[in-house]
């Protein structure tokens, strides 16, 4: 059979097939982003499949993080989630078909015999592999079937030839069948094993492109042989290089990777995350900042990176800051309002303007909420800031400013600027000499955007109260 990829006329169908055995982190979710983007960009379908057959390690909490994380990032699926545990009957049905067609045979080799075989092979410096003892061949006499032993079922891997595919990331890969032994595809209790379930699913779900982590490259030739035994053409494969953490190790929960939902809880924007993750293994020229739509317009499987990408939190924060800055104030205010409300702070209609004024100095919506909070709750300046800026020398000027501000015809930026200017002139001060103490008293910190703009967004009463509090 040929290695021709699925016909391009076919409707593209991709899938994300996570195992819910740990909290899904950024390295894992990137394996959802690319198949999602490819399906969307090709007007195809994206399927979510939960590979939950490892009963001991799979948890509902991990499934929840997958589903919540994908929903938050806007990686919407067209079908699923399908759960492999709910498809056991189907796997057994296909297994029976394979068996009837002679592609599967029972193997009674015990664990002890397998261990002994492995040891002999290792001692002889050979690659450990099943030796075909129970593989029926014309003219071969099989050992007597032991009493009371439930066999595993093994897949009759072809003995000769090569399995080859044109990987969209790695290029052509060829594996000699002689390298592959006969895989166990059903356990003694009849439950099918991983590689077999994946193939049945990919066939039933009519997957045209498998885009997944390159830790599965070794499974691919085995899966392709199972496809062929089932008289199906395998899909196109794209195996993505690993995502490394900041220390250069494979990203994993064990070495500090955070669940993807934690970024949501820390104030990152879904579009910024999509942008950042997209660049971890794919590029469009030198473009670093792009919208979700641009990503979908540009994405294809031809520009996937071949080498491992490294996570960089500082870059992620920078990307988030760029998206935050570009966001519409009203839309941003909705996100910031949610953060404030979680903190028990009730915002009002000043919030969009507050977001507009502070957004270009913030990396996350939480940082923006920290600023916004100074407009809705009491501020607590640090004693050292008070000592440094609210000096006895400047206190008379603060009183003057309060008096002028009390008189302004309208509480707006222009009138406030005029009151400040007048105070500076009357006290012979330079802007920073007055602006710093006012900021400390009103905002709790000496560094803010321009004073008139900040004060215009504060409530008059609060400003006057703060200026007269020292």
Find the part of the chain contacting ligand GLU (CB under 6 A) among 212-220, 278-286, 294-302, 434-442: 212-220
What does the block give as tokens for 62? 């991990």
Question: Would you call 12 helix, strand, or coil by DSSP?
Answer: coil
Cβ atoms of residues 257 and 309 within 8 Å: no
Q: Does 19 bind ligand GLU (CB under 6 A)?
A: yes
What does the block give as tokens for 241? 């290089």
Distance CA 275, CA 197 (A): 33
Q: Does 17 bind ligand GLU (CB under 6 A)?
A: yes
Q: Does 279 bind ligand GLU (CB under 6 A)?
A: no
Q: Which residue is nearest to ligand GLU (CB)?
A: 212
> Minimum CB separation from ligand GLU for residue 65, in Å?
13
> Minimum CB separation from ligand GLU for residue 17, in Å?
4
> Minimum CB separation from ligand GLU for residue 89, in Å?
20
Question: Would you call 106 helix, strand, or coil by DSSP?
Answer: strand
Distance CA 91, CA 196 (A): 8
Q: Which is nearer to ligand GLU, 19 or 466 (CB)?
A: 19
Cβ atoms of residues 216 and 208 within 8 Å: no
> Minimum CB separation from ligand GLU for residue 212, in Å?
3
Work out the number of other CB atoms within 10 angstroms of the CB of residue 329: 15
Cβ atoms of residues 218 and 37 within 8 Å: no
**Helix ranges (DSSP H) in 47-153:** 60-73, 88-100, 111-123
Find the part of the chain contacting ligand GLU (CB under 6 A) among 155-163, 210-218, 360-368, 379-387: 210-218
Work out the number of other CB atoms within 10 angstroms of the CB of residue 119: 11
Distance CA 5, CA 208 (A): 9
Cα–Cα distance list, 245 to 30, 92, 250, 315 (Å):
14, 40, 6, 13
Q: Does 444 bind ligand GLU (CB under 6 A)?
A: no
**Helix ranges (DSSP H) in 382-430:** 383-389, 395-407, 413-427
Q: Which is nearer to ligand GLU, 37 or 397 (CB)?
A: 37
The packing angle between helices 270-279 and 313-326, to 10°, is 130
Q: Which is nearer to ligand GLU, 16 or 371 (CB)?
A: 16
Q: Which is nearer to ligand GLU, 301 or 337 (CB)?
A: 301
Q: Which is nearer to ligand GLU, 105 or 237 (CB)?
A: 237
Distance CA 106, CA 108 (A): 7
Q: Which is nearer to ligand GLU, 106 or 213 (CB)?
A: 213
Site string for ligand GLU, 39-58 (x = CB under 6 A): ------------x-------
Q: Which is nearer to ligand GLU, 32 or 316 (CB)?
A: 32
Find the part of the chain contacting ligand GLU (CB under 6 A) among 17-25, 73-81, 157-165, 265-273: 17-25
> Minimum CB separation from ligand GLU for residue 69, in Å?
14
> Minimum CB separation from ligand GLU for residue 226, in Å?
13
Cβ atoms of residues 238 and 211 within 8 Å: yes
Q: Does 167 bind ligand GLU (CB under 6 A)?
A: no
> Minimum CB separation from ligand GLU for residue 49, in Å?
8
Q: Which distant-in-sequence residues (6+ apart) come within 8 Å of 11 by Cβ?
A: 44, 45, 208
> Minimum CB separation from ligand GLU for residue 354, in Å?
43
In the list 90, 118, 135, 216, the residue contacting ligand GLU (rule: CB under 6 A) is: 216
Cβ atoms of residues 251 and 311 within 8 Å: yes
Q: Which is nearer to ligand GLU, 52 or 385 (CB)?
A: 52
> Minimum CB separation from ligand GLU for residue 213, in Å?
6
Distance CA 316, CA 68 (A): 20
Contacting positions for ligand GLU (CB under 6 A)? 17-19, 51, 198, 212-213, 216
């Amino acid at each position: 059979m040929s290695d021709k990829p699925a016909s391009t006329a076919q409707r593209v169908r991709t899938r994300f097939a996570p195992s819910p055995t740990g909290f899904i982190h950024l390295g894992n979710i990137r394996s959802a982003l690319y198949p999602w983007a490819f399906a969307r960009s090709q007007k195809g379908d994206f399927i979510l499949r939960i590979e939950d057959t490892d009963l001991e390690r799979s948890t509902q909490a991990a499934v929840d993080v997958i589903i919540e994380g994908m929903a938050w990032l806007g990686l919407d699926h067209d079908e699923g989630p399908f759960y492999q545990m709910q498809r056991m009957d189907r796997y057994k049905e296909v297994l029976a078909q394979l068996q009837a067609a002679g592609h599967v045979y029972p193997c009674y080799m015990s664990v002890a015999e397998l261990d002994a075989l492995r040891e002999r092979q290792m001692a002889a410096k050979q690659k450990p592999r099943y030796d075909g003892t129970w593989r029926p061949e014309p003219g071969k006499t099989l050992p007597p079937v032991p009493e009371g032993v439930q066999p595993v079922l093994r897949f009759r891997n072809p003995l000769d030839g090569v399995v080859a595919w044109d990987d969209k990331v790695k290029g052509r890969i060829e594996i000699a069948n002689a390298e592959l032994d006969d895989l166990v595809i059903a356990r003694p209790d009849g439950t099918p094993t991983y590689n077999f379930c994946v193939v049945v699913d990919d066939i039933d779900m009519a997957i045209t492109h498998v885009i997944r982590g390159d830790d599965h490259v070794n499974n691919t030739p085995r899966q392709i042989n199972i496809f062929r035994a089932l008289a199906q053409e395998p899909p196109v494969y794209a195996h993505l290089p690993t995502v490394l953490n900041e220390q250069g190790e494979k990203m994993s929960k064990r070495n500090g990777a955070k669940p993807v939902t934690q970024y949501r809880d820390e104030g990152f924007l879904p579009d910024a995350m999509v942008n950042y993750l997209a660049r971890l293994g794919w590029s469009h020229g030198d473009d670093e900042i792009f919208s979700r739509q641009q990503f979908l317009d540009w994405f294809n499987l031809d520009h996937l990176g071949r080498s491992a990408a490294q996570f960089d939190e500082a870059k992620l924060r920078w990307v988030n800051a760029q998206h935050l800055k570009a966001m519409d104030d009203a839309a941003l205010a909705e996100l910031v309002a949610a953060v404030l409300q979680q903190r028990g702070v009730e915002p009002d209609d000043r919030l969009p303007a507050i977001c507009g004024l502070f957004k270009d100095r913030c990396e996350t919506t939480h940082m923006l909420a920290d600023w916004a909070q100074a407009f809705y709750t009491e501020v607590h300046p640090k004693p050292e800031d008070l000592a440094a800026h609210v000096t006895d020398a400047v206190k008379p000027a603060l009183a003057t400013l309060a008096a002028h501000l009390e008189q302004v015809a309208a509480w707006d930026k222009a009138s406030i600027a005029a009151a400040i200017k007048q105070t500076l002139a009357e006290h012979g001060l330079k802007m920073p000499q007055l602006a710093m103490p006012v900021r400390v008293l009103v905002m709790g910190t000496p560094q803010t955007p321009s004073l008139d703009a900040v004060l215009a967004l504060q409530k008059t009463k609060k400003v006057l109260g703060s200026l007269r509090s020292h």
